[in-house]
Structure 1
Amino acid sequence: MILAVDIGTSSMKGGLITEEGFLFSFHRVGFSADSLKGNFSFPPELWSQGFLEILETLGASRVSAVAISGNGPTLVPAELNGKPLSPALMWNDDYGTSSLISDSYYLPKIHWLRENEPALYKRADLFLSCPEILYTQLTGKSVMVSPQKGYIPYIWSDSELDKHQFRKSAFPDLVPMGSVVAPVSATALLKTSLKAGTPVIACGSDFIVSLIGSGAIQPGRICDRAGTSEGINYCATHACGDSRVRELPHALEGLVNVSAILSSTGSLFEWYRQLTGQEKYNYKETMDGVNAIPASQDHPFFFPSMKGENLWEFSNGMFAGLDPGQGKFELGRSVMEAIGFAVRRSLEIFEELDLPVKELRVAGGQAKSPVWNQMKADITGKTVLIPEVEDAELLGSACLASCALGRYKNIREASEDLVKIKREIYPRKDFSEIYDRKYTRYRRACESVVSFYQEYPGKE
């Protein structure tokens, strides 16, 4: 079986995937709250420790290949053997305020390091992203994964390294995803129970891998991938040139990934659970409590932000319409509906750009909640598809490994065969009518919220 591992922002997950594309076993490793404070504080040693825990829990004897994806564009300065030299420059912390102008998601971070930590910059033998640091520690070989040629400007090129006078020796060669990095080496830094010679597969960025693992590789298909942040990714045949969406090359050449980025949905929901003292509740308890609050019942509107179209970005948020009789589950329904309204608005933007929306493939932690999936269907009015393996990053990595092992001719063939839809959730007419009215009210209220923000006392 393939050991697929994904390094997330607040946790890392691993699973053994069978040749038929089923999840045989699964383990999740959470990162402590202290490690998530931001501002150059995340210890990358947690990735190595997490990998060892996943391997110990799932067992190495069945592993035929290792495939690792991770959040990007996180970056770590490291020694030649992959040993980290400092905390990670995480993808969601702002190190891009330097004077360097580049399409690269990585070079502004390295320039920040050169300007602010010059001794550390000089000590670094390599600059590695989070899956690549584990590749190096397992095999002794360093690479940087590019999904396809169209992504080179967003990673780095020789000409740009020359332009900005970076040391080329610190930048590993680019290799295509779905290729073999190298076999596990007994002499590499990370000592494991894996057999020496086990192939390690290049997978790279988790959001790209999730497109493959959700089956969003045909024009018109959408992957709604939710974790700490949420990306609603539309597989398109052409770019739209609209500033409301982010457009990048797709995992497959010739296609475009048009996405709406909801930067705070998962972290917002965790904030709500902490605010209401539910950290020790399991998610089902929280969801059952929220589900017990009727959609038709009056409860507050929640505005994660007060900055126009970006109302889903959690900053300077507010509840409106609070009453004394309301409790934690009314607040929870308000928070979830706000996220659902942001998803609906994202789909509306796609349709305004002549990208028709029929259904939504969900992936990530939210995809495991029947309550949340039904609410999304009701709010958006679209069918929600639940894959057999909800953690699309794991299955996507398994698809890439299956190609590298010669089981499939190409990525599209692997994805079409291994991605299976186990459930379809349809919008309920009576709930959709309720949410149509609420959404109209919410959108109108957004305009008032933006006006209020202009006079908000805390606004600088």
Structure 2
Amino acid sequence: MISKKSSMPLLFLENCFVMEQTVLAVDIGTSSLKAAFVSEKGKISAFSRRPFLLCNTEHASKEWLPAFQNALQDLVSQSPEIRPSGICVSGNGPTLVAQSGETLLWNEKVVQLKSSSLFIPRLLAFKDKFSDVWKKSGLVYSGPEYFLWLLTGESCTILPEKRFESAYWNKQLLLESGFSNDEINKLPSFTEPSHKVAGLSRKASSFLGVEEFGIKEGLPVFCGTPDFISALVGTATVKPGVLCDRAGSSEGLNFCTAVPLEGEKIRTLPSVVPELWNASVLLPDSGSKFDSFKLKIERELGSQIEYSVLVQEIIGNDGTNASLDQGKYLMIQTALNLKDALGILKDAAAKKRIPFPDEMRVAGGQAKSALWNQMKADITGMKISVPYCPDAELLGDAAFAFTALKVFPNLVCASESLFSKAETFYPQNY
């Protein structure tokens, strides 16, 4: 009788107090690395951003792993109790990196070809720019896959969905572009998002130096996707009719549809969800232009200024500061360009008799400013919904990891379960 009574609370504890799983999400951006502990409820228990000093150089990838090491030190100091169930990585693409680290970033200008492939023109440019490296390198990776190789020692290329093959490459396209069979073998074979690449290697674990916090040899490492796709998953832009404005170093307006849209300025790619499509209109320099403006202001001030503080100063300027007026013009012009992009998508949707939403979700740096969100709402006439995690690619990474860990039955369920709105801005007279 005594043993039965004493065991009941233990059984009760075992059945009722199950620990919530958390994953470590990592995104390799153009100008910084972001990492977070994300729970299966979509809670961010720790977040860290580490700016790059070598961004926009051919050595950019050299600081990715040290930046991750510093971010991890920050994360475990914020939440030392967390023991992640896995790591998932996304990153900018089609960045290319040799095993020796030479890097051709996605935004470097290359000669465009009449091809559906986003990668082949960049592979040709990489081969031309780093001819000796190309000859000597065993493998050449896209950005996030290079980082996965650093973590695990295993090689792959993440194909977001099988319909993406023509946007990446196949043997026939590569041969037609002049690549030899030996050169084609430099490209790791395709795998899918959520795939477990391997466990964290002993070498990487030792370098990161946080084994006592559960980031140790054997920890599962999973494939994310290119960062723009991870951001769409993180904003639950995974069902027809959902619209997302992703604004980072570049900006893209993305509309999920059941049929592909067509238009002169529309780039339509498959969704990561089979049978769905993503129609996008790109505003390629909006984020980088504002970053350059911010850097100019900081040089004038002789100190750094917070993003939200700068936006507040810009909007509150009474016209007496010419530099801030320049910033306000830049913000208004960005919102007007976004309004034009909305019109392009709306017209294309009307031709297919697809209803167009009156609300869009936002993600990226601009989403962190309430004043900028309100300006966008006023100028575009759209409701603007801000996710709980504006760095939505991290939520997308978490969705891929939790799908792999069987926490959710599929990616759509994971995406919609992790996403939540923090605030919605309604258009007013501007």
| TM-score normalized with structure 1 length | 0.80
Structure 1 portions without partners, runs of 5+: 79-83, 300-324, 432-460
> Percent identity among equivalent residues?
33
Pairing of 1:7-406 with structure 2 (within 5 A) = 7-32=28-53, 35-36=54-55, 38=56, 41-59=58-76, 62-78=83-99, 84-86=100-102, 88-96=103-111, 102-163=115-176, 164-166=178-180, 167-187=183-203, 191-192=207-208, 193=210, 194-276=215-297, 277=300, 280-293=304-317, 325-353=320-348, 354=350, 356-406=356-406
Deviates more, 1:265-274 or 1:57-66: 57-66
Pairing of 1:417-428 with structure 2 (within 5 A) = 417-428=417-428
**Count of residues in correspondence between the two structures:** 389
2:413 aligns with 413
Q: Report SS of the residue matched to 1:156.
A: coil
Deviates more, 1:53-62 or 1:379-388: 53-62
CA displacement at 1:293 relative to structure 2: 4.0
After superposition, give the CA deviation of every residue in 1:260-286 in whole Å (9 maximum; x if it has no partner): 100111111122223343562212321
Q: Which amino acid aligns with 1:426?
A: Y
Q: Report SS of the residue matched to 1:339.
A: helix
Q: Which amino acid aligns with 1:405?
A: L
Pair 148,289 (structure 1): closer, same or farther in 2 beyond 3 Å? same
CA displacement at 1:90 relative to structure 2: 0.6
Q: Which amino acid aligns with 1:179?
A: H
Pair 111,399 (structure 1): closer, same or farther in 2 beyond 3 Å? same
Pair 249,206 (structure 1): closer, same or farther in 2 beyond 3 Å? same
1:81 aligns with none
2:3 aligns with none
2:25 aligns with 4
Deviates more, 1:187-196 or 1:132-141: 187-196
How far apart, in 2, do the equivalents of 1:352 and 1:274 lie? 37
After superposition, give the CA deviation of every residue in 1:329-376 in whole Å (9 maximum; x if it has no partner): 322221110001011111111111125131010001111111111111
| TM-score normalized with structure 2 length | 0.86
Pair 117,287 (structure 1): closer, same or farther in 2 beyond 3 Å? closer
Q: Report SS of the residue matched to 1:191.
A: helix
Deviates more, 1:401-410 or 1:45-54: 45-54
How far apart, in 2, do the equivalents of 1:425 and 1:190 lie? 46
CA displacement at 1:204 relative to structure 2: 2.2
How far apart, in 2, do the equivalents of 1:215 and 1:269 lie? 27
CA contact (8 A) 1:362 1:385 kept: yes
CA RMSD of superposed structures (Å) = 1.9
Q: Which amino acid aligns with 1:387?
A: P
After superposition, give the CA deviation of every residue in 1:90-115 in whole Å (9 maximum; x if it has no partner): 10002335xx6542222222222333
CA contact (8 A) 2:31 2:52 kept: yes
Q: Report SS of the residue matched to 2:274.
A: coil
After superposition, give the CA deviation of every residue in 1:285-330 in whole Å (9 maximum; x if it has no partner): 2122123247xxxx7xxxxxxxxxxxxxxxxxxxxxxxxx453332
Q: Report SS of the residue matched to 2:67.
A: helix
Q: Report SS of the residue matched to 1:5.
A: strand
CA contact (8 A) 2:97 2:104 kept: yes
How far apart, in 2, do the equivalents of 1:385 and 1:125 lie? 45
Q: Report SS of the residue matched to 1:402.
A: helix
Structure 2 portions without partners, runs of 5+: 1-21
How far apart, in 1, do the equivalents of 2:206 and 2:88 lie? 16
Q: Report SS of the residue matched to 1:24.
A: strand
Q: Which amino acid aligns with 1:336?
A: M
